[in-house]
Structures are given as C-alpha cells and as structure tokens.
Structure 1
Amino acid sequence: MMKALVSNRSIGARILKLASGKSFGKEVLVKVHTVALNPTDFKHVNVLSPQNVIIGCDYAGEVVSVGKEAQGGRKVGDRLAGLVHGGMYHDRGSFAEYLKIDGDLAWKIPDGIHGEEAATARIPAKAPTILIYAASTSNAFPDIKLAVDCYSEGNSTGLCAKVLKAAAGGKVITLLDTGKPSTPGVEYESILVYNLFGESIVWLPPIGPKFPAIPSDRTSLARLHTKLPHLVSDFKPPPIRLIEGGFDGIIMGLGELRQGKVSGGKSVAKL
C-alpha cells in the first residue's frame, strides 16, 4: 500500500492509501522522494480531474522495479526525474509514494544533483531572440522575439504581444488558450505539454476538449531525456522553497499557489 494525494472534485484534494502496484512491460516503478508543485496541479484539482485520480506532475526518485520491456536501460537504484500527466489517472501521478512511468520518459539524475534540484529542472532557451514570460512561476528566462507565455493568465499574453509589437511583430506561444490576439502583427499559438506523452487526452468528458495523440512528440521527449543528464550540469535551479509536512504540506502548498502567494521560486516537498 502507498499514500497518494488524489482529487476530490470541487472539495479539493485528499490523502488516500492505494495499492502501490508494480512495474509491467515498458514501465518502471519509482519510489518518489521529492516533488515540485505547479499551478497545473491545483487547476486539475479545481476543474479538470476525475474523482480519486492521483495529482502531481514533477518528481525525483529512485527506481525500485523495472519491467521486462522497459526502455532506457533503467536499473534498480537509478535516480530518475521527470514529468507525468498528474490529475488524469488512478495509477499515475507524482504526489504519491510510488509512481509508474515509461522507462524512456524520464532522465537519469547525475551525481552532484540533489533531488530538489532535479524535480524543478527546466532547460532554458538559449536563443537571444526569445522572450519567455512566466510571471510568478519558475519558468522565466530573460530573452526576446518569439514569446513563450508560460503563465497564460490575466494580461500575461497581452504583455508578451506588446513586446513583440515593439519588435515589429511575431508569435506568442501559450500554454492555455487565451483567445485571439488584438495586437496588430502578432499571432497566438496554444500548445499542450501533455501531448509529449504520446497519448490522446480528453478533459471533462463527454463535453470537454479532445487532444489527439502525437507519437512524434513522444519520440522527441524520449530523445530529450537521453540528453538531459549531460545538459543539467549547466542548469541553475530556481529559488527552492522547501515545504515541510509531506502530503499535508503539499495540500497547504497548493493552497498557497491557488491564492497567488508563491512568487519567484518553486515550492518543493519531500515524501
């Protein structure tokens, strides 16, 4: 058995004891040591998640079981980190003591990188012509031209559009659908990070939006994970705010994110 934080619809999230399971086929079972909190976590709890699915996306932990068909050359004892689509499945989400993942959809944490750092890892864009806007999340890096709006709420997309207008126009990439642009010379394009897992997605069935599987995105993510251990040595983690209290601390931390109380850093909890 394991503890996990699951959705409880509009009431919020609650801690349950669930079967911990084991790895099958292409899966690897990870003992989760550290998780990072994101706005998408409480948004799934508030609106998107079915009842009693496991919440949480970012994680770092240790392999305890490897399926016979698992890819990536994983071994028991390997330290892994990555991202999963928490808030959609009853057997998969990072806010749990154990997590099942596809073996090639995680990256091996090199020596010298702590779990708290690995759980927050983002590789910044290096091109000098890109603006990445993230408001109070930890995904902001100062550059200019193509704009990537990692916040995609309030007036964030409009602010990006104004920057591009001053630079003779361009495109704003958003993580949420923010409507049509009103700024001349600027276009918006919405992407969904969860397409990277190569699975179709349906939110709020039967009336919610549907997103088809994109196998090529999964291939790209698996390829990236083979390179991350070599790139992460150049990674400078955001300011980390360590949350005490395990699962109870995660519930508190999600509440603080929901209320806009976290700014300029990343909330991280140990399990």
Structure 2
Amino acid sequence: MQPTQTALRVGGNGKYKLDSSAKIPVPRPTCVLVRNVAVALNPADAKMVDLSASSGAIGGYDFAGEIVTVGSEVTRDLKIGDRVCGPVFGNNPGNPDCGAFCEYVEVEAQLVLRIPDNMSFEDGAGLGIASATVGMALYHSIGLPMAPVSRGKAQEEFALVYGGSTSCGTLAVQLLVHSGYKVIATCSPKNFPLLKSLRATGVFDYRSPNCASDILKATKNTLGIVLDCITDRTTMKLCYGVMGDKGGKYTSLDPFPIPMHTRSDITPHWVFVLTMFGQAIAMKGAFKRKKRPQDVEFAKKWFVRMQELLDGNVIKPHPIRVIPGGLDAVVEGINELRLGKVSGEKLVVRVAET
C-alpha cells in the first residue's frame, strides 16, 4: 500500500480543496481501515462547512468499501476483504484525518455495517449516516421501542415523517412501517411513488394549502410522533399543527427555531448524530457539544440491530445518482445540494474515478 492518498479537505468556510499527498491512517486498535469504493454526499457536507468549517479536515460522512486492515482489539467478526459501509465524522476539528472523502478511511469497528451480497457499494454508501441519524432520532430521542428483527404487530398509532423522500426520511418510513406504525409522510408529488412503495399509509404534498388539514383528518387528530427531516420555521409550524390534542414528541434533525415551540403538550428535541463518535465537539453555536457516553452506547446497540435488519432484507437503500469524476466531482454535487436541486435521491461518487 502506498504511504499517501488523495483526499478532499475543508479549505475554509464553504470551501473544499483536493490534497494529493494526504497520509493514509494507521488504524487504532478498535478500528478498521477501509479502501473506499464509493462515498455519498449529504446536506451536512454543505451546511457544516458553511456554518462551522474545520479548515484542513477531510470532509464527508458516508463511505462504502473493502476492509484492508483490522485493528488488534476489534472484537467483531470482521476480516480483510469484507464489503462494508458506515458513518464517519467528517469536517472533524478533533481528528482532521477521519472524513470519508478520501481513498482510505479509518472507522470505528462498532459502527461498520456489512453490505449485503445483493447490494452495490454505491447503494451502501448512502446507508451509514442515515442509519445513525434515524436510529438516534426514533429510538434514543423519541424513545420508541427499537425496531424488531421480525416485522412488528400492526398497531393503530400514527407517526409522521416530514421530508419523507430524503435519505433519512425513506429509512425512517421503512423502520416505522416494519415496527407496525401507520406512517404518514410529506414530500413533493413526484416522490409519492417512492414513499408508497415503502408502504407509507398516507403521503401528502407539503406545498398543498390543505396539507395540514388533510393530515389531521387522516390521523383522526391523534398524531403524537413526529420526525422532521427538514427543520425550519415552516416545517415545524406544520408539524406542531398536525399533532393531536394530547400532544406528543417532535424530533428534528437540525436545531429547531425556538419561537416555533408553541405548544406545552409537545416535547421538542433535535438530534446531532456526531455525538455518537464519543468526542466533545468543538464546533460553533448550537453544534458545540460535550461528550455524551450514552450516545456512544446507544450507537453500538443500534448498529447491531441495523445489521440484523440489513441481513434480513428489511431495508431498501435510498435511490442514488452517481456523479462521474470521483472526488473531483464532490464540490459540484455539494453545490447541487446547496441550491436545492437534489430530491428523492442520494448523490454518490466512485472514488477510483478521481
């Protein structure tokens, strides 16, 4: 193996730059080293670099590839050559060399998912950070019973996924349906077939002036579980407006606008998934965090269950669109995300095309 690799580093606020002489990490004892085949782009690749850039850090949160080295203290049954995917902490101020946008990435073994034989590297690349985020939101923040290995018994309780056609949204819909909930989702009409194929009970156009009243009618004014995958003033207002008379729990994937917390019978919370990597987060504003060992412990348990669900063919990957050009094309893809041009699909690049 060559001593250096190509990586895409944060070049300051809103910027990335290619580094053709980055060191290849020597994995820590509890980690594995993965040769990346494909990496996926996320809205956070734009948002976090725009709002809290860690200059010089490798970017990227989602990888898929083959294990080339296994750390001496790894206890999981992982071996060289395994096809794996998972999340990493890109744009990391405390460990600048651990992002996904590179040829070789060091990963905590507890956060690795084996890619099923019937799934491509490109599809697997979009699973990692969505799995981590949705798991934390549903089973750690809202506090639902963890998704069972076998399909759960049908129940009368409704759950809303706002932004159902995002990568987190489609995964949340599948997990909630698998657990037996009646799932309501919002998205644009062009993505209705995607959500219906995942067995959502009802799908509504978030732009419709009747969206809120239609959801209230569909849920019989009983909705008490809401996951907001978009999170702004408009989405929070609608989510609060469609929750039933008894209130419930609202969880968002970004800091929610506090003035929009208008109901005392609703408990709001937002999930910052990077706490599962076990370090204090020295970022700006609402993203600054102390260590949260409870999030690390939850992640270990959740990734065991997520692997079982993948092995049981319960989870379908989010639709992807491959951008040609390897790591050189990442900036182009991030600009598409910034401009809101990506809907119902995940952008992926093949690293070998760099």
Tell whether the structures are fold-level matches, with TM greater than 0.5.
yes
Shift of 1:68: 1.0
Deviates more, 1:146-155 or 1:53-62: 146-155
Alignment of 1:74-93 (within 5 A): 74-88=78-92, 89-93=95-99
For 1:190-228, what per-residue CA distance to the aligned partner results, in whole angstroms no more than 9, with x for missing partners? 221111222221213xx7753122223212212222233
Q: Secondary structure at the match of 2:111?
A: coil
Q: 1:112 aligns with which of 115, 118, 122?
A: 118
CA contact (8 A) 1:54 1:86 kept: yes
Which residue in the other structure is 2:302 paired with? 224
Identity %: 31
Which protein has the bigger helix share? 2
Shift of 1:161: 1.2
Matched, 1:145 2:224: yes
Distance in structure 1 (CA, Å) of the matches to 2:58 and 2:232: 25
Q: Secondary structure at the match of 1:16?
A: strand
Shift of 1:109: 1.6
CA contact (8 A) 1:71 1:102 kept: no
Gaps in structure 1 of 5+ consecutive residues: none
Deviates more, 1:105-114 or 1:31-40: 105-114
For 1:149-175, what per-residue CA distance to the aligned partner results, in whole angstroms no more than 9, with x for missing partners? 1221352222211121x4542221112
Residue type of the alignment partner of 2:81: G
CA contact (8 A) 1:2 1:19 kept: yes
Residue type of the alignment partner of 1:26: T
**How many residue pairs are counted as aligned between the two chains?**
268
Matched, 1:32 2:111: no
- Relative distance call for 1:219 and 1:159 in structure 2 (3 A) is same
Which residue in the other structure is 1:133 paired with? 162
Q: Secondary structure at the match of 2:321?
A: strand
Which residue in the other structure is 1:52 paired with? 56
Runs of 4 or more above 4 Å deviation:
122-128
Residue type of the alignment partner of 2:332: M
Shift of 1:6: 0.9
Alignment of 1:139-218 (within 5 A): 139-140=168-169, 141=173, 142-143=183-184, 145-164=224-243, 166=244, 168-180=246-258, 181-183=261-263, 185-204=265-284, 210-218=288-296
Distance in structure 1 (CA, Å) of the matches to 2:35 and 2:233: 37
- Relative distance call for 1:83 and 1:209 in structure 2 (3 A) is closer
Distance in structure 1 (CA, Å) of the matches to 2:333 and 2:287: 29
Shift of 1:2: 0.8
- Return the TM-score normalized by structure 2: 0.70
Distance in structure 2 (CA, Å) of the matches to 1:138 and 1:150: 9
CA contact (8 A) 1:32 1:61 kept: yes
Distance in structure 1 (CA, Å) of the matches to 2:100 and 2:287: 24
Q: Secondary structure at the match of 2:167?
A: coil
For 1:112-136, what per-residue CA distance to the aligned partner results, in whole angstroms no more than 9, with x for missing partners? 1211222223567778522122266
Distance in structure 1 (CA, Å) of the matches to 2:246 and 2:14: 47
Which residue in the other structure is 1:259 paired with? 339
Deviates more, 1:133-142 or 1:61-70: 133-142
Q: 1:234 aligns with which of 310, 314, 321?
A: 314
Residue type of the alignment partner of 2:39: V
CA contact (8 A) 1:106 1:222 kept: no
Q: Secondary structure at the match of 1:199?
A: coil
- Superposition CA RMSD, Å: 2.2
- Return the TM-score normalized by structure 1: 0.90
Gaps in structure 2 of 5+ consecutive residues: 139-146, 148-154, 174-182, 185-222
